[in-house]
Structure 1
Amino acid sequence: VGGHSGFPVTYKRILPLFRWLGMKNFIKSQVQSCLICQQAKPERVQYPGLLSPLPVPSKAWDTVSMDFISGLPSSYQYNCILVVIDKFSKYGHFMGLTHPFNAQKVAEIFLDNVYKLHGMPRLIICDRDPIFTSAFWKILISRTGAELNMSIAYHPETDGHTERVNQQIECFLRCFISAHPAKWSKWLSFSVSSGTTLTGILP
């Protein structure tokens, strides 16, 4: 058993395994009437104005965007998520944090989970969170040779991709652990970021 990622993905996953009369319309109807999706998924509204997207990076993990998801219930001492997304491959890392935390703690988690696997990115995109505007964080970034590019509020052309992934993570967690919200930290390893799609597998 597992979750679905909308009609097209669900239909393609079922098509090689089963066939029956009216299968496509049946799957579409089931997905559109999914009670869990209606309860958990946020409303989509078109963002006004023209977008000015950033240049496409030349290689993977050359440019990353970072953000926090806070306000979560405590789960095995964690109550916050650090999200790091690669702008080229669209893959990301989701790391549990305990609030309150400081820039040094965020730097340690970043080095242990991102730097050791992909090296130091050339450009880091983030919002103006106090952690990212702190003197320690700026010195750390400058010493490693990376460039810090901070956005302003509601600018999807800078960190909009990360904000979209944040929505998907929250939706994923609501769908799969709504009955046990204190266990969300155990499900981060089941989250796979690819573009704007998050999939989860039930054990």
Structure 2
Amino acid sequence: MSWFDVVVFTEVFVTLFVIMDPPGTVPVFLGLTSTMTAKQRNRAARQAILVAFGVIVVFAVFGQQVLHYMGISLPALQAAGGLLLLVVAMELLTGKMESAEPSGNQSVNVALVPLGTPLLAGPGAIVATMVFVQQTRGDDDALAQVLAIAAAIVAVHVALYLSMRFANVLQRLLRDSGVTLVTRISGILLAAIAVQMIATAVTEFVRAA
């Protein structure tokens, strides 16, 4: 019996990498942190990763119990995340986020919501992690699979951090006018993600009815 399941690690890593999309977070991250200094942006990246990692781990361990206790369905969670992202997308598109001066509190708020969750640790990543954890129950190699899942989660978050950490390089290349353009584009992308999340949630609601 192996102590580490490479197949499970690969499956979980690829799945979460596609869902959480480290390269795709760069323009959105730049848009959300456009008014911050390089130091504040780096701190926001660290905080967002810690928040996302904490949310994923909590739902991996206690996800089913938490949702059941609060009477929340997965489509409801997805719809709520979509609505929240839609509000943020509108602020990016209208330039509302650019009117405020950068501050420590602003960076903390952006790191928590919407960056840490629901953008990084969104319903898709949460559900996928919960499913992978549930599949290990009652298996003879459960420990090896759990270790593989944990390693894959850590590896994906390292990739996410690196993508945001080096977003400063892109910001220096684009300069202020380029970042403004990226902010508007990220607003459109974020709005599309939000609408897709809401549409998927509505479809699940109808299917369950």
- TM-score bin (small chain): under 0.3
TM-score by length of 2: 0.26
Larger Rg: 1
Greater RCO structure (CA 8 Å; 6+ sep): 2
| Structure ranking higher in helix proportion | 2
TM-score, structure 1 as length reference? 0.26
